[in-house]
Structure 1
């Protein structure tokens, strides 16, 4: 029973490691893409206005 739990623990630790790497990768992608998306935006919509108002409060 203990051996089975140790195996399961190692599997979970490996999965956490994989998810951590994936999470970091996705965050880096967002950092690279967000400035490009913002610079391409030319139309100011009501949704944009609402978002800008939230920053003021």
Structure 2
């Protein structure tokens, strides 16, 4: 039979590990969403740029 101290220590380590894993996953998802928004903005600005300057692909001549 394990002592109460050992059971509490193992439980605390497991809970802290699980919470750290959940926090890491949340941070990862948040960073991934932020990166996707940034890349979407960059792609949108690259796609709009030729028409904004009236270049070869623009509508103005």
RMSD of equivalent CA atoms = 1.8
Q: Which has the larger radius of gyration?
A: 2
For residue 37 of structure 1, the aligned residue among 46, 50, 56 is: 46
Is 1:14 the counterpart of 2:23? The answer is: yes
Q: Using the alignment, how far apart are the partners of 2:16 and 2:34 within structure 1?
A: 27
Q: Where does the alignment leave 5 or more consecutive residues of structure 1 unmatched?
A: 42-57
Query: What is the rounded CA distance, in whole Å, between the counterparts of 2:11 and 2:25 in structure 1?
Result: 21
User: Matched residues in 1 for 2:43 and 2:28: separation?
Assistant: 22
Task: Report which structure shows greater RCO (CA 8 Å, sep ≥6).
Answer: 2
Higher helix share: 1
Which residue does 1:2 correspond to in 2?
A: 11
